[in-house]
C-alpha cells in the first residue's frame, strides 16, 4: 500500500477554521475557555486554534499542553519506557471549559489518560475533545465533541498528521503500519 493523502495543507486550514467556528459557537461567550493540546501534534493544533479563536473572542483563550505518558496504561509493559514531554496547564482550569486537542482519535486510550491527567490540575466545568481525524477502532467508550474528518481505516493502517511546526508541511496521510 502506498501513502494516501487524506488532507492537503489547504484542507487542513479549512478544517481548522471550521473547528474554531464550532468551538466559538458552543463555548465562545460562556466564560473561561482553555485549550489543552495533547503532546505533541495536539499542542501544535491547539496553538493554531487559539490564534483563530482569539481573533473572534473578546477574552483571550488560555492555552495548555499535556503529556499523558505517565497516565498511559501500557507503558509498564516490558520494553516500554515513556519519553516525557512538558506539561503546562493554566491555573485557571478550575471552573473553566476545557477543550482537549489531539491529532488522531483511535482506541480512546490517549483521551482516557488525558482526562485523568487534567483532573490532577483541577476541576473544570466541562471537558470536551477536539480531534483533527477520527479513525474509529475504539477500545473505550470515548467520542470526540469536535471532529475535523472521520476516516474509515483498517487495523493494518495508520494515520500520520504532519504539521509545518514539526514536519515542514501540513498534510494528513494514510499509511500501512510498519511491520513489527
* Residue numbers of the chain with a pLDDT score lower than 70: 1, 71-85, 180
| Separation in Å, CA 179 to CA 88, 129, 139, 168 | 35, 31, 22, 26
| Separation in Å, CA 127 to CA 11, 82, 118, 123, 168 | 27, 25, 9, 9, 31
Cβ burial of 107 (10 Å; 0-12, 13-18, 19+) is: middle
Which pLDDT value is given to residue 179?
79
**Reported pTM:** 0.91
Residue 175 CB neighbours (<10 A): 13
pLDDT tens for residues 125-154? Answer: 999 999 999 999 999 999 999 999 999 999
Contact partners, residue 28, CB within 8 Å, separation at least 6: 53, 56, 57
For Cα atoms 100, 105, 108, give the angle at the middle one, nearest 5 degrees: 85
Please, what are the domains in the chain?
4-176 (3.40.50.2020)
Closest alpha carbon to 102 in 150, 72, 71, 146: 146
Amino acid at each position: 500500500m502506498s501513502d494516501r493523502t487524506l488532507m492537503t495543507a489547504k484542507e487542513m486550514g479549512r478544517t481548522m477554521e471550521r473547528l474554531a467556528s464550532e468551538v466559538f459557537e458552543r463555548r465562545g461567550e460562556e466564560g473561561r475557555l482553555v485549550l489543552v493540546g495533547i503532546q505533541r501534534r495536539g499542542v501544535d493544533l491547539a496553538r493554531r486554534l487559539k490564534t483563530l479563536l482569539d481573533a473572534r473572542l473578546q477574552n483571550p483563550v488560555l492555552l495548555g499542553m499535556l503529556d499523558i505518558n505517565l497516565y498511559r496504561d501500557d507503558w509498564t509493559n516490558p520494553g516500554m519506557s515513556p519519553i516525557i514531554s512538558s506539561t503546562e496547564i493554566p491555573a485557571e482550569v478550575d471552573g473553566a471549559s476545557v477543550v482537549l486537542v489531539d491529532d488522531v482519535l483511535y482506541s480512546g486510550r490517549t483521551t482516557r489518560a488525558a482526562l485523568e491527567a487534567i483532573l490532577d490540575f483541577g476541576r473544570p466545568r466541562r471537558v470536551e475533545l477536539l480531534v483533527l481525524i477520527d479513525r474509529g477502532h475504539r477500545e473505550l467508550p470515548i467520542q470526540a465533541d469536535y471532529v475535523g474528518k472521520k476516516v474509515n481505516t483498517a487495523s493494518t493502517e495508520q494515520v500520520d498528521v504532519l504539521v509545518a511546526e514539526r514536519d515542514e508541511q501540513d498534510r494528513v496521510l494514510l499509511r500501512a503500519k510498519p511491520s513489527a
